Amino acid sequence: MSGMSAIMGVMQNAARKAARGLQRDFGEVETLQISRKGPSDFVSRADKKAEEVIHEQLSYARPGYSFLMEEAGEIEGTDKSHRFIVDPIDGTTNFLHGIPHFAISIALEREIDGNPRELVAGLVYNPITDDMWFAEKGRGAYINDGTRGGADRRLKPSQRDLFSDCIFSTGIPFKGKPGHAKYLKELHQVMGTSAGVRRFGAASLDLAWTAAGRYDGFWERGLKPWDIAAGVLIAREAGLQVESLSDGDVMDTGDIIVTNDTLLPMLKDRVT
Structure-model confidence comparison of residues 6 and 97, the more confident one:
6
What average pLDDT score do residues 248-263 get? 96
For 135-153, write each residue's pLDDT tens digit: 999 999 999 976 666 789 9
pLDDT number for residue 149: 63
For 99-129, write each residue's pLDDT tens digit: 999 999 999 999 877 777 899 999 999 999 9
pLDDT number for residue 162: 98
- The pLDDT confidence band at residue 4, using thresholds 50, 70 and 90, is confident
pLDDT number for residue 178: 72
Give 214's contacts (C-beta < 8 A, 6+ positions apart).
none
- At how many degrees (to 10) do helices 6-32 and 40-61 cross? 170
CA separation for the pair 240, 237 (Å, rounded): 7
Give the lowest-confidence range in 49-53, 71-75, 181-185, 225-229: 181-185
Type of residue found at 269: D
Residue 229 has pLDDT above 70, yes or no: yes
Domain ranges across the chain:
6-154, 163-271
What average pLDDT score do residues 88-101 get? 92
Q: Which CATH class is domain 6-154?
A: alpha beta
pLDDT number for residue 31: 74
pLDDT number for residue 257: 98
CATH number belonging to domain 163-271: 3.40.190.80
pLDDT number for residue 73: 93
pTM: 0.94
Strands 153-154 and 140-144: antiparallel
Q: Tell me the percentage of the chain whose pLDDT exceeds 90.
A: 77
For 32-47, write each residue's pLDDT tens digit: 665 555 566 777 888 9
What average pLDDT score do residues 241-246 get? 96
Mean of the per-residue pLDDT values of the chain:
92
Asked if residues 23 and 15 have their Cβ atoms less than 8 Å apart, the reply is: no
pLDDT number for residue 233: 98
What is the spatial order of strands in the sheet that 241-244 belongs to? 196-198, 167-170, 217-220, 256-259, 241-244
Using alpha carbons only, what angle is made at residue 69 by residues 57 and 235, rounded to the nearest 5 degrees?
A: 90
CA separation for the pair 256, 243 (Å, rounded): 6
CA separation for the pair 268, 243 (Å, rounded): 10
